């Protein structure tokens, strides 16, 4: 098995400890401490349960024992694919307690993606719900199990059928391991996949806990906070900025909202007196629209975080008058660096920037294409390193070569500028992915799937501005022979076992790409030219 590693240069590790960023805490220790401090306080609420800190702690320990008794060994990796529910926390803390390594996948992922994560992480376990959102995850587990023979254990939250039910795990006296080293890798998060397939992001206990502990402080979380996870909780944003883990760290209450649509979310805000939540921009727009006519009382909402994609300043300015709460912009990435506007910042900074880094030791470089720093205030590529930004992806030398500089900076692929106050404004990106309502789609990944269709000669996938989604995906396709039907192509992509959000929103057929791209150009330039040609054509039509 490939060892899991994430290391910083020794002198920096020493510095990060001296400065109190890395405190030697562990993920399970976070829950243990919170449960000891306030055992009877409500920890988590979901459609499946309402548990105090003591109950959550007990459930996690029981799951840990059961997983070990079922044959898992500390260090084993387990892909977790659970929706927003209370069991998400008991399962994940159970894995931490047993020394197992969760690999976080989204509910939207399908067999191709899950198989890729299982193989990449060499996972032996997979945890799914029985059904969710009208989809049967046991069916998915069956398909995946056929593809990946190293997958030994499938656990189901709910009706397990031929698999093992999380509630039916063997009980009994199993010894649990001692706490892992705080500098070891706690879990694998999944990258947005800017080039090709998603990469696995190893995060350590020390670095991740620092990021959500400091985030909780920046966001003013206290034990009185009621934090609602509105976005899918496996995303890094609702998980750690400060998210569910930040909330557990301070002993607050976590509400697992089963869906982010305003009807459902407003109901939960009223019922649990939610004070804080986070959204991607398209949902924020929807909530603002719905707030004017809702009959739910959402007056408890104090802070709305918006991030994952650029929030237009005009929309940002309307948050306080429509939702009657404060806005915080969040610009982060699962690889590490997270920026926040601060709650006491002047309105202009909050509405027009994406914030400043968590840590005084987050290093920011804004460079041109040659890697040279741009003059102050100008746009450039954002590079970063610091106490919670990774130095390498898991077991992927060529991705590491591309994504990190020789001196350890992570190339975010984002184009930003810095204001005189030291705040970042996101201006665009260099990478070829589509940011569809906060979900990142790799152009290359979808092109490869399209090329597998017998009726496709060539394909290029690009991002097109979209009033609702921020960006939508458009696939330019050169047919091989008769033009395939658009619906067929979409069904083909779906049939390849991919998340629904990756199915192209729009398909445009072309005879050749030469009409827009003269001579031989890189795919990157080709995508750019196709995008520009389409946009100018649309303008002419308006
Ligand atoms: C513009 N682009 C943004 C923003 C992320 C907190 C918040 C978000 C994420 C996240 C996260 C943006 N404006 N406010 O992990 O902890 C785009 C950038 C970035 C990429 C990272 C967190 N906030 N983005 O979105 O790993 O392009 O993390 O590099 O999913 O989203 O995507 P992801």
519 CA → ligand 1 middle, Å: 35
Same domain for 534 and 417? no
Q: Which ligand 1 atom is at minimum distance from the Cα of 429? A: 27
Per-residue pLDDT at 226: 99
- List Cβ neighbours of 26 (8 Å cut-off, separation of 6 or more): 96, 179, 180, 182, 186, 205, 209
Q: Which atom of ligand 1 is nearest to the CA of 306?
A: 14
Q: Tell me the CA–centroid distance for residue 358 and ligand 1, in Å.
A: 14
407, 430, 453: which is the final residue of a domain?
430
Total domain count, the chain: 2
**Which of 109, 234, 235, 307 for mutating ligand 1's site (highest number of atoms within 8 Å of CB)?**
307
Under the banding of pLDDT at 50, 70 and 90, the label for residue 538 is confident
Extract the runs of DSSP E, i.e. beta strands, from 423-479.
424-429, 433-436, 439-442, 456-466, 470-479
Q: What is the pLDDT of residues 475-491, one digit of tens each?
A: 999 999 999 999 999 99
- 74 domain-assigned: no
Same domain, 391 and 245: yes
CA distance 189 to 186: 10
The answer to whether the beta carbons of residues 273 and 228 sit under 8 Å apart is: no
Asked if residue 211 and residue 320 are part of one domain, the reply reads yes
Dihedral angle at the C-alpha atoms of 364, 367, 377, 438, nearest 10 degrees?
-70
Do 223 and 289 belong together in one domain? Answer: yes
| CATH number of the domain encompassing residue 524 | 3.30.300.30
Q: Do 442 and 424 fall into the same domain?
A: no
Residue 422 and residue 467 in one domain: no
Give the domain-ending residue among 430, 453, 470.
Answer: 430
Each residue of 392-442: pLDDT tens digit? Answer: 999 999 999 999 999 999 999 999 999 999 999 999 999 889 999 999 999
Task: Look at residue 488 and tell me if it is in a domain.
Answer: yes
Q: Is 216 helix (H, G, I), strand (E, B) or coil?
A: helix
Write the residue with the smallest CA distance to atom 21 of ligand 1: 333
In the numeric block, the tokens 């202009």 are attached to 348
User: Ligand 1: which of 308, 362, 501 to mutate, judged by most atoms within 8 Å of the beta carbon?
Assistant: 308
pLDDT at 517 over 60: no
Compute the C-alpha angle 488/494/500, nearest 5°.
125
What's the 331 CA to ligand 1 centre distance in angstroms? 5
Per-residue pLDDT at 523: 85
Residue 490 belongs to domain spanning: 433-541
Q: Which of 368, 399, 430 is the last residue of a domain?
A: 430
Ligand 1, pocket residues at CB < 6 Å: 192, 236-237, 240-241, 307-310, 329-334, 338, 354, 412, 414, 426, 429, 435, 440
We report the CATH number of the domain holding residue 292 as: 3.40.50.12780
Helix axis angle for 27-37 and 205-218, nearest 10°, is 50
pLDDT in tens, 230-281: 999 999 999 999 999 999 999 999 999 999 999 999 999 999 999 999 999 9
Chain segment 352-384, per-residue pLDDT in tens: 999 999 999 999 999 999 999 999 999 999 999
Which residue's alpha carbon is at the smallest distance from atom 13 of ligand 1?
310
Pocket test for ligand 1, best of 208, 218, 332 (most atoms within 8 A of CB): 332
Residue 237 inside a domain? The answer is yes
DSSP-derived secondary structure letter, 263: H
Q: Residue 38: inside a domain, yes or no? A: no
Measured by CA distance, the residue closest to atom 7 of ligand 1 is 332
Do 395 and 296 share a domain, yes or no? yes
Residue 477 and residue 451 in one domain = yes
Position 386 scores a pLDDT of 98
Position in ligand 1 atom list of the atom nearest CA 335: 26
Half-sphere exposure of 245 (CA within 13 A, CB side): 26
Distance 332 CA to ligand 1 centre (A): 4
């Amino acid at each position: 098995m490939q060892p899991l590693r994430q290391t910083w240069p020794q002198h920096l590790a020493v510095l990060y400890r001296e400065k109190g960023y890395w405190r030697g805490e562990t993920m399970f220790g976070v829950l243990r401490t919170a449960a000891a401090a306030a055992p009877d306080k409500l920890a988590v609420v979901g459609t499946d349960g309402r548990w105090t800190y003591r109950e959550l702690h007990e459930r996690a320990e029981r799951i840990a024992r059961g997983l070990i008794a079922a044959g898992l060994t500390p260090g084993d990796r387990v892909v977790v694919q659970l929706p927003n529910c209370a069991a998400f926390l008991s399962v994940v803390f159970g894995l931490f307690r047993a020394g197992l390594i969760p690999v976080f996948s989204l509910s939207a992922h399908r067999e191709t993606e899950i198989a890729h994560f299982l193989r990449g992480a060499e996972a032996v376990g997979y945890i799914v719900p029985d059904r969710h959102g009208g989809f049967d995850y046991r069916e998915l587990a069956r398909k995946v199990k056929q593809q990946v023979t190293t997958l030994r254990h499938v656990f189901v939250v709910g009706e397990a059928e031929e698999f093992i039910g999380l509630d039916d795990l063997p009980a009994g006296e199993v010894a649990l391991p001692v706490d892992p080293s705080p500098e070891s890798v706690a879990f694998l998060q999944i990258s947005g996949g800017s080039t090709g397939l998603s990469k696995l992001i190893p995060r350590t206990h020390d670095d991740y806990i620092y990021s959500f502990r400091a985030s909780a402080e920046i966001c003013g979380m206290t034990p009185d906070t009621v934090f609602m996870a509105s976005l899918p909780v496996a995303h890094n944003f609702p998980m750690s900025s400060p998210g569910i883990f930040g909330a557990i760290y301070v002993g607050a209450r976590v509400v697992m909202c089963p869906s982010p649509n305003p009807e459902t979310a407003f109901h939960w805000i009223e019922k649990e007196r939610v004070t804080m939540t986070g959204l991607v921009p398209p949902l924020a727009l929807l909530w603002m629209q719905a707030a004017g006519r809702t009959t739910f009382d959402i007056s408890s909402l104090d802070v709305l975080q918006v991030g994952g994609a650029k929030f237009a300043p005009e929309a940002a300015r309307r948050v306080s008058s429509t939702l009657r709460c404060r806005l915080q912009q969040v610009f982060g990435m699962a690889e590490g660096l997270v920026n926040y506007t601060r709650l006491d910042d002047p309105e202009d900074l909050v509405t027009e920037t994406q914030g400043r880094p968590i840590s005084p030791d987050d290093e920011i470089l804004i460079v041109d294409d040659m890697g040279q720093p741009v003059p102050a205030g100008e746009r450039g590529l954002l590079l970063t390193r610091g106490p919670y930004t990774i130095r390498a992806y898991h077991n992927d030398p060529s991705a590491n070569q591309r994504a990190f500089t020789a001196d350890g900076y992570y190339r975010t692929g984002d184009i930003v500028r810095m204001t005189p106050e030291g705040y970042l404004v996101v201006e665009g990106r260099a990478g070829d992915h589509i940011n569809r309502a906060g979900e990142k789609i790799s152009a290359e990944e979808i092109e490869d799937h399209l090329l597998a269709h017998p009726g496709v000669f060539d394909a290029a996938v690009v991002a097109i501005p979209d009033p609702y989604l921020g960006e939508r995906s458009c696939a330019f396709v050169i047919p091989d022979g008769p033009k395939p039907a658009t619906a067929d192509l979409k069904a083909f992509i779906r049939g390849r076992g991919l998340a629904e959000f990756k199915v192209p929103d729009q398909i445009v057929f072309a005879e050749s790409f030469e009409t827009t791209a003269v001579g031989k150009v890189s795919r990157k330039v080709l995508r750019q030219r196709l995008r520009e040609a389409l946009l100018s054509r649309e303008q002419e039509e308006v």
